[in-house]
């Protein structure tokens, strides 16, 4: 392939008054991912370029960024595919404060996660000495297993129009996490999670734009999971009015 351009968002708060875009030129080999290209850039052309990365296989969730405007993992994006017109534009994830270049501050994201009590809350019966038996129909187990696939990359947050406008909204990742436990037959924590979920900034903020589902690099149907939570809560409201 011919040379292509990388147009990269640059901003170092300790030095720059405002952000700018910098152009780099690279000659990609077949199979080159955007992440490998960034690593090469950093080692060969510009060591001051900041981005996060670790596993390079789409499992650790470090390297989410906007690639040509869409939130994706750099390690799972082929340069050849992204460089349709010869240019790849890289920017930090939308909706998060920029720390430097492509690195954003995700503190807010982690705090929201904690609000849904993302841990198994077992019922009162004591756990058996061995494992709890778990017999779920294959499809239900699959759904549960999918929902537990989240790698916290925050692509869904960057793509969610509600999250973009409404800072306090729990957002898709935290809600998917909540669903993962709500749908787990071993969990009995619905009442404890209800305060966070059954709230204008909880499940009710979602308007089913499905951008989270589209953006998820692990193919989790986040919007569907949120709908499941809405349905569960709606059923509870309509049947048990007044127990709020």
Partner 1 sequence: MGRGFWPWFLQRATAVLLLAFLGAHLWLEHFAAPGRVTTYRRVAARLAHPAFVALDWGLLALVVFHGLNGARTAVLDLGLSPAGERAVTWLAVVLGVGAFLLGVDALAPFLGMRAPIPW
Partner 2 sequence: MEVRHQVVVVGAGLAGLRAALAAGQAADVAVVSKLYPVRSHSVAAQGGINAAIDERDSLESHAYDTIKGSDYLADQDAVELMCEDAPRVVYEMEHWGTLFSRTPEGRIAQRSFGGQEFPRACYAADKTGRALFQTLFERSLKAGVRVYDEWVVLSLAVADGAVRGLVALDLKTGELHTVAARAVVMATGGLGLMYQRTTNPYSATGDGTAIAYRAGARLKDMEFVQFHPTSLVGTNVLITEGARGEGGILLNARGERFMERYAPRLKDVAPRDIISRAIETEINEGRGLPGGYVHLDIRPLGLDLIRHRLSEIYDFCRTFAGIDPSRELIPVQPAQHYMMGGISTDNEGATSLPGLFAAGEGACVSVHGSNRLGANSLLECLCFGRRAGQAAAAFAARAGEEAFPAAALEEQRERLAAIRKRRQGEHHGVVRRELRGVMTDKVGTFRTGEDLAAAAAELARLQERYRSVALMDTGAVFNADLAAYLELGNSLDLAQAVVACALERQESRGAHARRDFPQRDDQRWLKHLLCRYSLRGPVLEEAPVRITRFTPKERTY
Q: Does 235 bind partner 1 (CB under 8 A)?
A: no
β partners of residue 98: 104
CB under 5 to 8 A by kind: which of partner 2, ligand FES, partner 1, none does 194 bind?
A: partner 1
For residue 225, give both structure tokens. Answer: 């999971």
| 8 Å CB contact between 70 and 159 | yes
Residue 6 C-beta: closest distance to partner 2, Å: 17
For position 230 contacting partner 1 by CB under 8 A, the verdict is: yes
Nearer to ligand FES, 82 or 203 (CB): 82
Other residues' Cβ atoms within 10 Å of the Cβ of residue 176: 28
DSSP letter at 33?
Answer: B
Kindly state whether residue 59 participates in binding partner 2, applying the rule CB under 8 A: yes
If phi > 0 it is left, if psi is from -120 to 50 it is alpha, else beta; for residue 56 that is left
20: contact with partner 1 by CB under 8 A: no
Listed residue (36, 21, 29, 23) closest to 75, CA to CA? 36
- Nearest 5°: phi and psi at 186? -85, -10
Encoded tokens for 76:
């799972």
Whole-number minimum distance, CB 1 to partner 2, in Å?
15
Look up residue 2 and give its two tokens: 């011919």
- Provide the 10 A C-beta neighbour count for residue 77: 22
Per CB under 6 A, does 208 bind ligand HEM? yes
For residue 208, the partner it binds in partner 1, ligand HEM, ligand FES, none, with Cβ less than 5 to 8 A by kind, is ligand HEM
Tell me the residue number closest to ligand HEM, measured at CB: 207
Hey, which residues between 155 and 214 contact partner 1 (CB under 8 A)? 162, 165-168, 194-195, 198-205, 207
User: Which CB sits closer to partner 2, 21 or 119?
Assistant: 119
**Residue 146-165 contact track with partner 2, rule CB under 8 A, x = bound:** --xx-xx-------------
How does DSSP classify residue 21?
E
Residue with tokens 């696939």: 149
Q: Three-state SS for 215?
A: helix
Q: Judged by CB under 8 A, which stretch of 25-33, 64-72, 117-125, 231-239 contacts partner 1? A: 231-239
Interatomic CA distance for residues 132 and 178, integer angstroms? 21
Q: Which does 204 bind (CB under 5 to 8 A by kind): partner 2, partner 1, ligand FES, none?
A: partner 1
**103 binds, options partner 1, partner 2, ligand FES, none, Cβ within 5 to 8 A by partner type:** partner 2
Site membership for ligand HEM, residue 207 (CB under 6 A): yes
Using only the alpha carbons of the chain, give its radius of gyration. 21
166 belongs to the binding site for ligand HEM (CB under 6 A): no
Contacting positions for ligand HEM (CB under 6 A): 207-208
């Amino acid at each position: 392939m011919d040379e292509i351009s990388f147009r990269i968002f640059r901003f170092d708060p300790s030095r720059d008054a405002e952000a700018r875009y910098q152009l780099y030129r690279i000659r990609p080999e077949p199979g080159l991912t955007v992440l490998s290209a960034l690593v090469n850039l950093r080692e060969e052309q510009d060591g001051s370029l900041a981005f996060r990365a670790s596993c390079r296989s789409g499992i650790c969730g470090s390297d989410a960024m906007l690639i040509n405007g869409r939130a994706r993992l750099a390690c799972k994006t082929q340069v050849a595919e992204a460089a349709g017109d010869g240019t790849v534009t890289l920017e930090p994830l939308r909706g998060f404060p920029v720390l430097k270049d492509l690195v954003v501050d995700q503190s807010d994201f982690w705090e929201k996660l904690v609000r849904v009590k993302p841990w198994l809350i077992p019922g009162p019966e004591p756990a058996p000495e061995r494992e709890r038996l778990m017999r779920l129909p294959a499809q239900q187990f699959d759904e549960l297993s999918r929902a537990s696939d989240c790698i916290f990359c925050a692509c869904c947050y960057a793509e969610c129009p509600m999250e973009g406008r409404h800072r306090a909204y729990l957002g898709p990742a935290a809600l998917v996490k909540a669903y993962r436990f709500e749908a787990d037959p071993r969990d009995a924590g619905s009442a404890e999670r209800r305060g966070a979920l059954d709230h204008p900034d909880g499940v009710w903020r979602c308007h089913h734009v499905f951008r989270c589902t589209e953006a998820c690099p692990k193919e989790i149907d986040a919007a569907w999971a949120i709908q499941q939570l809405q349905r569960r809560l709606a059923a509870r409201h309509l049947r048990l009015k007044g127990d709020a």
